[in-house]
Amino acid sequence: MKIFPQYDLSALNTLSLPGRAEYFCRFNTTSDLLCLLREADERQLKVKVLGGGSNLILQPQVSGLVIQSAMDGVVKLSEDESSVTYCVDAGLNWHQWVLRSIELGAYGLENLALIPGSVGASPVQNIGAYGVEVGQAIVAVRGVQLSTQQWMSFSQQQCSFSYRDSVFKQQFNNDFLITQVVFKLAKVFEPQVSYAPLNKMAEQALVNKLDINAQRVTDWVIGVRNSKLPNPAETPNAGSFFTNPIITKSQADELLKLFPDLPVYPLVDSLGARVKIAAGWLIDQCGWKGRSLGLAKMHDQQALVLTLKPGACQQDLVSIQQAVQADVMAKFGIQLRPEPQPFR
Ligand SMILES: Cc1cc2nc3c(=O)[nH]c(=O)nc-3n(C[C@H](O)[C@H](O)[C@H](O)COP(=O)(O)OP(=O)(O)OC[C@H]3O[C@@H](n4cnc5c(N)ncnc54)[C@H](O)[C@@H]3O)c2cc1C
């Protein structure tokens, strides 16, 4: 195991921002991880956790020791008549795990196919897409608190999952390294096709007498994502740059009087008191879809996705972020919040 000083992280973040870690190390085993944590402690280096770099805003200089898990094991823990439980290492690529789960006959993650990043980061912001959130399938998250080096395991309830949020993002706020995630998946596939484009494809499949199986739904999800979202390998981006704002139902009703087309979605856990509105629509209405500022651009097909051009730096990102936020605030009175957080 080698610790690299002044390590270039520009290829390890999907926005392709320039930046270096004071120290960087990838670990392959738990004993290597323990050595690293001990060494960081002795040298008083703060430990920072990097996954696939698809949901962060890399800063030019990241202080301390940046670590990345290369552990990618999958172990079956138990099964009963209807479900099967797997423990998955944090370093496994998320999409690879989704495909593997289907091969294993374990269902529930199909709608989350092709989300970039690692298994370990998936609980942090409770990744979600097309009507499914990962928290629904997670029964435990294991790892170590970085400041105390105390190992802990969290049940699904203790993870406090909500829209793009969890205990790891809030209370622990970068002070917890997730090493393993435990998933309880169904043995019988049940398609989740409430999202309109998937629903349309399901209806078409029924007309054509096609079986709606897990692989087919996964292929649909991949197709929809490829048609809407830019590939970070070609166009640097971090997916949805802003979270969908959550506002009170009465606030939404007032806005609907002025903007009858405003897309408003119910929030699962708020009993109708709060609703989620589409940030992409707000940005589009402010004329930012496909618009550039410096070396940054809001994507042509999806206004919510901030993309960067070659040579862009942190200031290009901040400038367009602030300009979009200011316009949305001026038109709708709503504060947009970025989903990826600075990694410094
Ligand atoms: C094209 C594109 C599409 C996307 N689509 C979606 C989508 O549909 N839905 C969605 O929810 N997200 C989406 N995202 C965002 C992103 O893919 C997810 O948030 C993903 O889970 C981030 O994983 P990562 O490994 O890249 O995390 P990183 O970007 O490396 O890290 C993100 C944060 O998690 C922390 N972290 C990473 N690994 C660990 C760990 N093992 N333990 C503790 N903390 C950790 C980091 O310190 C950092 O704070 C998209 C991103 C892109 C680029």
Task: Write out the catalytic residue numbers.
Answer: 164, 240, 339
Q: For the ranges 250-259, 263-272, 318-327, which has the lowest average pLDDT?
A: 263-272
pLDDT band (50, 70, 90) for residue 269: low
pLDDT score recorded for residue 270: 64
Of 65, 88, 124, the residue with max ligand 1 atoms within 8 A of its CB, to mutate for a pocket test, comes to 124
83 lines ligand 1 (CB under 6 A): no
Q: Which one, of 47, 51, 105, lies nearest residue 76 by Cα?
A: 105
pLDDT score recorded for residue 266: 83
185 lines ligand 1 (CB under 6 A): no
19 lines ligand 1 (CB under 6 A): no
- pLDDT tens per residue, range 170-196: 999 999 999 999 999 999 999 999 999
* Residue bearing the CA closest to ligand 1, atom 17: 116
Q: How many angstroms separate the CA atoms of 242 and 54, rounded? A: 14
Q: Which residue matches tokens 């323990």? A: 34
Q: What is the DSSP letter of 213?
A: -
Q: How many angstroms separate the CA atoms of 54 and 166, rounded? A: 18
Which domains are present in the chain? 4-69 (3.30.43.10), 74-186 (3.30.465.10), 196-228 (no CATH), 237-343 (3.90.78.10)
Query: What pTM does this model have?
Result: 0.96
Q: Mean pLDDT throughout 100-113?
A: 98
Q: Mean pLDDT throughout 86-91?
A: 98
Sign of CA dihedral 165, 168, 170, 171: positive
- CB–CB of 317/297 below 8 Å? no
- pLDDT tens per residue, range 120-156: 999 999 999 999 999 999 999 999 999 999 999 999 9
Beta strands in the chain (DSSP E): 4-8, 20-27, 47-49, 56-58, 61-69, 74-79, 83-89, 128-129, 132-133, 138-145, 150-155, 176-186, 237-240, 246-248, 264-266, 274-277, 292-293, 296-298, 305-308, 341-343
| Residue 335: alpha-carbon gap to chain centroid | 21
pLDDT score recorded for residue 211: 92
Q: How many angstroms separate the CA atoms of 75 and 326, rounded? A: 48
Name 61's Cβ contacts closer than 8 Å, sequence gap at least 6: 19, 20, 22, 344
pLDDT score recorded for residue 189: 98
- CB–CB of 51/121 below 8 Å? yes
Of 27, 55, 69, 165, the residue with max ligand 1 atoms within 8 A of its CB, to mutate for a pocket test, comes to 55
91 lines ligand 1 (CB under 6 A): no
> 307 exposed, middle or buried (CB, 10 Å; 0-12, 13-18, 19+)?
buried
